[in-house]
Structure 1
């Protein structure tokens, strides 16, 4: 706290600000400082309010040892000066007797006799204050349930009593009743009891999050897997990183362990690592650690005990090591509680959780399902042997096989090179003295060329170019000029693809670079006689590829013929020398060229001929890519059904080959697009996430995150809000994202989508906090003020929804300033009108002046748009503005001004026609005008004339749905006459 409050007004303002903070150390420390500040004032009321805030911070910040101490001070103040406690403060004081009882139960060092004594104190105080005793019996039951004795009688004494104003909220009591039935082994009755909470009809500070965590396993045991999945996603978000809900987090970890989602469990454990050190409640810690142990035990049983795990700070943990540590600590905690309580309840409950067998082999919890193998460290192990043959018996055989496969362009060649790379890097490597193998320098050149190829696949063109040049030098040293020429040509092509810096026209620069690269390749080809046929075919393929990339870059018709000429050279040469892979490569290039030139039918004809050849002569690994291209062409021809069939088959065939060799990630991405065209968004979502995960495994992280971003947006569009949030939480927790290594704009897009999903999920507080942070960061995007304008505008609206119109005004000013540099007419107009509506709706006449300022700003934006010739994609900015003037004035009771504005809006809209959207907007404007005129201004006759005419007009145009509200309003006005 920068400076201590000097007046009581400042103190109360600071208390309100602290109340908006999330529970945790920052809020607690501030609350402690505010208590110190409150003690300077002569009157006791400020201190009482500060102590109440401090106790709340301790209670929900998982510091039960401190909560009773603060309450003791409050109770002393009440005993000394009861008149200072008004009805509200008195209610809060007696309510918090329950908080203290809860806190004492969490501390095994507090004797059981002291817990019972506190309950006696609570009963005596309630009786003296003439308060009902149901809350006391509720606490007595919870103590019995904690100890594990006499629960049936305690439950009946509590549950049979009538609730009072000081009873726990309905949601919390429902949870306690459900847990009683759950403990008795009646899953169905427990779930029936829980239903109002699980359905969101009853809620509070801790509910439904607490109930959800307990209900997950009963839902699985009764076959309600979809409901369990849905509640896991929503419930986990409610407790993540919250120390006061450590037990709930533990139960979500247990749920993951028992549903085949061990990898997600480890991910959630990492996200909540701070709980190992931040949870001060021994009881909460016991529940958390037991859930952690259930997870770690399962991972270890599956043979992954050496996986890294997030544990106590200060050292690196494996699953096995952390499990041993957790087991010791949790056993000790359970024993301490049992010793205090004189029972074995906590040890027994803990053992029951640890002895549970998995309930499902696999339940897909998120859009990013991963196995334990996927979360293993990315240390390069020995590559698997190629699938074309058994593992070679000798090093010369392995080298020969790698070169043969590479010559064929076989997808298994990279696996051979990877195995060789590991062998050569070993300190005891001894190169074979075999003329057929050649010198070590040649093998090193081969490995560099393979490494360069992999870098090029990841669009790391500068790296690839350097590696190819280094390989070329080694090939020269080995006396292999043909291989050196091919490496030089590969370097030329890679260099041409390096993005130009500071080029005025990037397209022109890249086209020039590719033209130069092609010319250099031709010279290189001419100057290198005696090329082996497969090397010469590759060189011809690169010449054609360079010109094909130039055509792709420019789209110029004049660049089509040169590509086809080079393709013809390649095809003739490959056919003459029977280089099978390059024959199909030439045909694929020809079809691609037709596609780039816009001649899709010719491209399809060429692809069909190629497919026939591939099925007859191979190579089989060319089939997935070729079918994928035909699928993309069918999409271009708007035949989504045929595209879906081709792409589905390509994905099926791709499963037979390494994913990166057949570009399976792209195939899944294209299939997702076909699914969207066919109206199959859920299927599209599966293929998008599969595409992204394949890119991620291949190391193409930027591409992967872009695809995942699209998947997140699609899931949000589909209303799968929790799926969207869970996916984005998982992505944003990736180490390179957390470390700031990924493109900051891409990360911002992920966060923006998450903030929108939080808003859609009614988590206004979290959504607003994220938007505020994004608005602050995007303010520094000098190269993209338009995006900042959009983010700041959305932030302003969320602040307005929260009633923080001062901060909303500041955000709107930021949006307007950025809009002046890079206009976003429609977004800004929508934002300003919505802010005006919110302020008018929430504040009525008191908010009219400020609301009209927002509308005046929107008017200036509309004027600018009109002057710029901008046409809105949605509603007309002018008619929408006039309508909002009408609505805002109506909220404020300025009905004549409201009616005049609505008349203007109707004039701007004009009579409706066949278009439904226009008819809907016009009808709503008529309806509001009818309400203002007929009800608020008490002039039903002209209102009815307006409404009847509108109904006739809409009915004649068959807009019956739009006419219905107008007919209902007219009927109401006639009834009131």
Structure 2
């Protein structure tokens, strides 16, 4: 498959080679490199062909195709021998450098005899000596061959490591890794880690480092007790090597790390992400390393009793853990045997056996913000947390179970769901026989009960249309069973579910709200008629119908908060409370009081709502029902958050969660309780605890099947982790979420997924992975351009994309992106963001291109000026300094970068005038001081006018000190001292 137009000139060839060099390693890059060699041959010029062959060997080497790399190099070497004058110093360096690549490629191929490997090293040594080159690189290759074969490496190590490095030696980072691995093989973890320090600390790096060193250092870090460093290294290191065919060995060591730290589920997740490596890695040695690491993981999973779990493996069939492990074991054993046969040792079989024999180093190390368990990797029914109170005893006989379920249902008891679940299993069994018991009643009634319960659970999961249908079906069966009260209740519930279902399909905005309010009014009337027209209602049934009437009006109040609607809800609440009190329906007494408190809260009377919850809590603690306490404590916590009493909210929400643990998990909205507690923690300055609560909220929602709510909570957790500077945690969490099957299949809400991707792109930027961040932003900007209903979000994304493109020096693309942002901004203004974007682009272009970039930089600032004019006309107030002040300051910086120093001073003086005299406000005083500093530096240093610069600085120091801003005077005084010393 051609990947680019066929070059028609050597200039086009070189341009195509540069473009291919930007592609990731893999088949697409390799195929293009092969095509470009064919294209180079048509020009019948040596130098272009050499460049094309070098690119092809690079693609083979880093694309894990070692069989082809020596063939390409042989052709290069022939050209070098025949036409040495065609090779300039840089090309000559490449020829001698790549002798090492061929040596590594030959080692990786068990079919190449050991004698051939030694002959190639002799060829390398002879060539180096003839060219007058130092032999340290040769001895490095000799050491690697000895280590590969399994010979005593003591002498080989000294001959290599004791020699002075040469320009052809591998980079410092690669040699550091090799020395550290030598100590690792000798069993000296501490010495290995000391050797690795400069690489792990980021002081030495290259294309493969520190990712390679990190993968080898993970287990030594654990063995020496550095668990937190190991965790951090895993997150950062894995991201640097995932899906890369040339780093399959590194990927395998991350899988091994997961297997030995109680993170087997994450290991399977990472294996799925790297499934392509099974077919893309053509190097037998890399295959052996990769497969052994995969087997360590699969072996551990199988030992834990999960061999039947699905696993990602070779293409063409579906694998289980056990099946894939058996396949891998056969292939890896064969590869190890082939290498040992070639080398005349048992080194590879022994190393493989040692790796597979490792025992777990930790029972459980929490690697990410989304810890996974093996039992969560396959579909399973939600498992409730074990209650701390004695569970309601489940009767052994079916009649007793039916009667118990109905009694609990009448009370609204949380244990009713467990009884219904047990009954559903029994009734749907093929051998079910319905008891002939008058107390139980006919089968049609039991089926109606089960449908009624199922409808309620569907409603809780916001499957409202399904819920409405199930309620209607249940009502019909209740009619058949001669139970009009039950039928009326089911129909009333179905009416409310129908309104909720219609709201999801109806118009948005004011028209939708009006239609919803009218529908709820009609439903209230129909429920009232059902209550009035249904004979023989039991007190609990009538109380429930009254509660549904309140609910209809309360939902209408949420749609339209008016005094009339508030009064209507409170009147219905009074009816419910009076009826429930008269008939001692304690659950509905509590329900009425909760609805009253909620109504006050919705109406904005928070103190009254809080007073109501006070009285309700007292009643619940005295009279019950106890299972209402977590609900009320959650409501009270939210009220206190709204009243800015975070301490009280924290106490109530914590108590609510503690009490909720006494009941089945499905009985409460635990996800919301954890989410509200996270908010309280943030107000109290406890962000780490808030992060834990957000992840618990998400985990709870996932267990209950509420995936959208779960992903929203995880999205908040990702943003918070980014705000806390935990960049790798943020990226790992988002990578896990974005790999979920429903996300990949496009079944998740597209805007929510876009938000996850946006946060990930920002995290990549914060993690200084500018290339990946820019690629994601460009993709998001393209997709969001079609969001006709949300141009403001597109403006935001396009403006951030433009800044990243500017950081990469791609100013033409940045201009196009910011133009799209401005067009979206015209529909949905984002004054502050667009102004900031345009100013930053101007600064970047002037900083990177100097005077040559000044015209385009000033064009950005001119657009920022228009945005500031629009903002002023619209009455927009920026946070902190005004857009005009910020713009004047940026004019100063841009001119300074471009060498237009007089214009820079003029612009900065304008900014100072706009800011006015420094007063008590710390932020504004800081802005003013920065303008003074920059103006004085430009004038005193670049314009060589120290006198006015010093006068400005001295006056500014006096003014700032007068307002107590002594810390702001320090850089000004330092600059003044420097100017005086110089002049």
- CA distance in structure 1 between the aligned counterparts of 2:725 and 2:760, rounded to whole angstroms: 13
Q: What is residue 470 of structure 2 aligned with on the other side?
A: 467
Q: What is residue 59 of structure 2 aligned with on the other side?
A: 57
Q: What is residue 277 of structure 1 aligned with on the other side?
A: 279
Q: Say yes or no: does 1:114 pair with 2:120.
A: no
Deviation of 1:864 after TM superposition, in Å, equals 2.0
Q: Say yes or no: does 1:328 pair with 2:334.
A: no
- CA distance in structure 2 between the aligned counterparts of 1:213 and 1:437, rounded to whole angstroms: 64
Conservation of the 8 A alpha-carbon contact between 1:382 and 1:418: no
Of 657, 663, 684 in structure 2, the residue corresponding to residue 657 of structure 1 is 663
Conservation of the 8 A alpha-carbon contact between 1:621 and 1:662: no
Mean Cα displacement is larger for which, 553-562 or 536-545?
553-562
Conservation of the 8 A alpha-carbon contact between 2:392 and 2:415: no
Deviation of 1:407 after TM superposition, in Å, equals 1.9
Mean Cα displacement is larger for which, 424-433 or 621-630?
424-433
Q: What is residue 764 of structure 2 aligned with on the other side?
A: 758
Of 351, 361, 364 in structure 2, the residue corresponding to residue 362 of structure 1 is 364
- CA distance in structure 1 between the aligned counterparts of 2:584 and 2:299, rounded to whole angstroms: 58
Cα 1:849/1:331, change in 2 over 3 Å: same
Structure 1 unmatched ranges of 5 or more: none
Of 396, 404, 407 in structure 1, the residue corresponding to residue 407 of structure 2 is 404
Deviation of 1:225 after TM superposition, in Å, equals 0.7
- Aligned residues: CA RMSD: 1.8
Conservation of the 8 A alpha-carbon contact between 1:384 and 1:419: no
Q: Say yes or no: does 1:725 pair with 2:727.
A: no
Of 86, 89, 102 in structure 1, the residue corresponding to residue 88 of structure 2 is 86
Conservation of the 8 A alpha-carbon contact between 1:841 and 1:891: yes
Q: What is residue 899 of structure 1 aligned with on the other side?
A: 905
- CA distance in structure 1 between the aligned counterparts of 2:308 and 2:586, rounded to whole angstroms: 46
- CA distance in structure 2 between the aligned counterparts of 1:789 and 1:713, rounded to whole angstroms: 20
Cα offsets for 1:258-304 (capped at 9, x unmatched): 11111111111111111111111111111111111111111111111
- CA distance in structure 2 between the aligned counterparts of 1:654 and 1:268, rounded to whole angstroms: 35
Conservation of the 8 A alpha-carbon contact between 1:622 and 1:662: no
Conservation of the 8 A alpha-carbon contact between 2:731 and 2:764: yes
Q: What is residue 224 of structure 1 aligned with on the other side?
A: 226
Conservation of the 8 A alpha-carbon contact between 2:478 and 2:487: yes
Q: What is residue 493 of structure 1 aligned with on the other side?
A: 496
Conservation of the 8 A alpha-carbon contact between 2:384 and 2:665: no
Cα offsets for 1:376-422 (capped at 9, x unmatched): 22469999999734554333333223222222222222222223333
Cα offsets for 1:182-215 (capped at 9, x unmatched): 1111111111111111111111111111111111
Conservation of the 8 A alpha-carbon contact between 1:927 and 1:947: yes
- CA distance in structure 2 between the aligned counterparts of 1:738 and 1:875, rounded to whole angstroms: 43
Q: What is residue 254 of structure 2 aligned with on the other side?
A: 252
- CA distance in structure 2 between the aligned counterparts of 1:336 and 1:243, rounded to whole angstroms: 22
- CA distance in structure 1 between the aligned counterparts of 2:513 and 2:879, rounded to whole angstroms: 30
- CA distance in structure 2 between the aligned counterparts of 1:100 and 1:432, rounded to whole angstroms: 81
Conservation of the 8 A alpha-carbon contact between 1:384 and 1:415: no
Q: What is residue 319 of structure 2 aligned with on the other side?
A: 317
- CA distance in structure 1 between the aligned counterparts of 2:353 and 2:392, rounded to whole angstroms: 50
Q: What is residue 421 of structure 1 aligned with on the other side?
A: 424
Alignment of 1:558-577 (within 5 A): 558-577=564-583
Q: What is residue 306 of structure 2 aligned with on the other side?
A: 304
Q: What is residue 341 of structure 2 aligned with on the other side?
A: 339
- CA distance in structure 2 between the aligned counterparts of 1:864 and 1:444, rounded to whole angstroms: 65
TM-score, normalising length: structure 1: 0.98
- CA distance in structure 1 between the aligned counterparts of 2:66 and 2:114, rounded to whole angstroms: 16
- CA distance in structure 2 between the aligned counterparts of 1:342 and 1:140, rounded to whole angstroms: 17
Q: What is residue 449 of structure 1 aligned with on the other side?
A: 452
- CA distance in structure 1 between the aligned counterparts of 2:460 and 2:853, rounded to whole angstroms: 59
- CA distance in structure 2 between the aligned counterparts of 1:425 and 1:439, rounded to whole angstroms: 15
SS at match of 2:667: coil
Mean Cα displacement is larger for which, 604-613 or 372-381?
372-381
Mean Cα displacement is larger for which, 954-963 or 126-135?
954-963
Of 508, 528, 532 in structure 1, the residue corresponding to residue 514 of structure 2 is 508
Q: What is residue 214 of structure 1 aligned with on the other side?
A: 216
Q: What is residue 267 of structure 2 aligned with on the other side?
A: 265
Conservation of the 8 A alpha-carbon contact between 1:306 and 1:320: yes
- CA distance in structure 2 between the aligned counterparts of 1:2 and 1:139, rounded to whole angstroms: 37
Q: Say yes or no: does 1:686 pair with 2:692.
A: yes
Alignment of 1:544-693 (within 5 A): 544-693=550-699
- CA distance in structure 1 between the aligned counterparts of 2:683 and 2:961, rounded to whole angstroms: 34
Alignment of 1:87-166 (within 5 A): 87-166=89-168
Of 429, 435, 438 in structure 2, the residue corresponding to residue 435 of structure 1 is 438
Conservation of the 8 A alpha-carbon contact between 1:789 and 1:819: yes
SS at match of 2:25: coil
Deviation of 1:451 after TM superposition, in Å, equals 1.6
- CA distance in structure 2 between the aligned counterparts of 1:794 and 1:384, rounded to whole angstroms: 47
- CA distance in structure 1 between the aligned counterparts of 2:266 and 2:573, rounded to whole angstroms: 49
SS at match of 1:497: helix
- CA distance in structure 2 between the aligned counterparts of 1:384 and 1:424, rounded to whole angstroms: 26
Q: What is residue 35 of structure 1 aligned with on the other side?
A: 37
- CA distance in structure 2 between the aligned counterparts of 1:416 and 1:317, rounded to whole angstroms: 38
Q: Say yes or no: does 1:240 pair with 2:246.
A: no
Of 928, 931, 936 in structure 2, the residue corresponding to residue 930 of structure 1 is 936
Conservation of the 8 A alpha-carbon contact between 1:538 and 1:582: yes
Mean Cα displacement is larger for which, 55-64 or 745-754?
55-64
- CA distance in structure 2 between the aligned counterparts of 1:867 and 1:599, rounded to whole angstroms: 36
Cα offsets for 1:111-151 (capped at 9, x unmatched): 11111111111111111111111111111111111111121
Conservation of the 8 A alpha-carbon contact between 2:384 and 2:664: no
Cα 1:919/1:664, change in 2 over 3 Å: same
Conservation of the 8 A alpha-carbon contact between 1:240 and 1:272: yes
- CA distance in structure 1 between the aligned counterparts of 2:604 and 2:796, rounded to whole angstroms: 36
Deviation of 1:472 after TM superposition, in Å, equals 0.9
Q: What is residue 788 of structure 2 aligned with on the other side?
A: 782
Cα 1:708/1:381, change in 2 over 3 Å: closer
Cα 1:617/1:635, change in 2 over 3 Å: same
Deviation of 1:560 after TM superposition, in Å, equals 2.1
SS at match of 2:666: coil
Mean Cα displacement is larger for which, 945-954 or 427-436?
427-436
Q: What is residue 538 of structure 2 aligned with on the other side?
A: 532
TM-score, normalising length: structure 2: 0.97
Deviation of 1:728 after TM superposition, in Å, equals 0.3
Conservation of the 8 A alpha-carbon contact between 1:383 and 1:419: no
- CA distance in structure 2 between the aligned counterparts of 1:636 and 1:793, rounded to whole angstroms: 34
Cα offsets for 1:44-68 (capped at 9, x unmatched): 1111111111111111111111111
Cα offsets for 1:11-45 (capped at 9, x unmatched): 11111111111111111111111111111113211
- CA distance in structure 2 between the aligned counterparts of 1:758 and 1:659, rounded to whole angstroms: 37
Cα offsets for 1:882-940 (capped at 9, x unmatched): 22222122112121222222222222222221111111111111111111111111111
Q: What is residue 973 of structure 2 aligned with on the other side?
A: 967
Deviation of 1:543 after TM superposition, in Å, equals 1.2
SS at match of 2:665: coil
Cα 1:799/1:359, change in 2 over 3 Å: same
SS at match of 2:370: coil
Cα offsets for 1:619-671 (capped at 9, x unmatched): 22212111111211221222111111111111112122222311111110110
Q: Say yes or no: does 1:771 pair with 2:774.
A: no
Structure 2 unmatched ranges of 5 or more: none
- CA distance in structure 2 between the aligned counterparts of 1:114 and 1:399, rounded to whole angstroms: 81
- CA distance in structure 1 between the aligned counterparts of 2:33 and 2:400, rounded to whole angstroms: 73
- CA distance in structure 1 between the aligned counterparts of 2:689 and 2:606, rounded to whole angstroms: 27
- CA distance in structure 2 between the aligned counterparts of 1:772 and 1:194, rounded to whole angstroms: 37
